[in-house]
Amino acid sequence: RKPAEDKENDHEVTYFCETCSAQYHANAFWICCDICDQWFHGKYVNIAATEAKHLKEFKCADCIGEEIGE
C-alpha cells in the first residue's frame, strides 16, 4: 500500500518524529512544521499545546535556521 493512501485514512495515518523517530501518538502533543511538513514532539520544540493554539504557523528549528541564513 502506498503512503499517500494512508494519509487519506485519518485513524491509520502514521507519522514519525523527526527528532527521535518515535511513532506519532495522539496522547502526546505533536506539532507539524508548516514549512517542511515534518512532525515533532512538542517537548522538543518547546511549545506547549496551549501555546500552539495561538500560533498561526509553526516553523521547526531547521526552517527557522534557513530563514536566518545560518
Residues in contact with Zn ion by the rule CB under 5 A: 17, 19-20, 22, 33, 35-36, 41, 60, 63
Q: Are 58 and 41 in contact (CB under 8 A)?
A: no
Q: Are 24 and 30 in contact (CB under 8 A)?
A: yes
Minimum Å gap between C-beta 12 and Zn ion is 20
Minimum Å gap between C-beta 28 and Zn ion is 9
Q: Which is nearer to Zn ion, 1 or 21 (CB)?
A: 21
Provide Rg for the chain, Cα atoms.
Answer: 13
Minimum Å gap between C-beta 18 and Zn ion is 8
Q: Which is nearer to Zn ion, 36 or 48 (CB)?
A: 36
How far is residue 69's CA from residue 36's CA, in Å, rounded to a whole number? 16
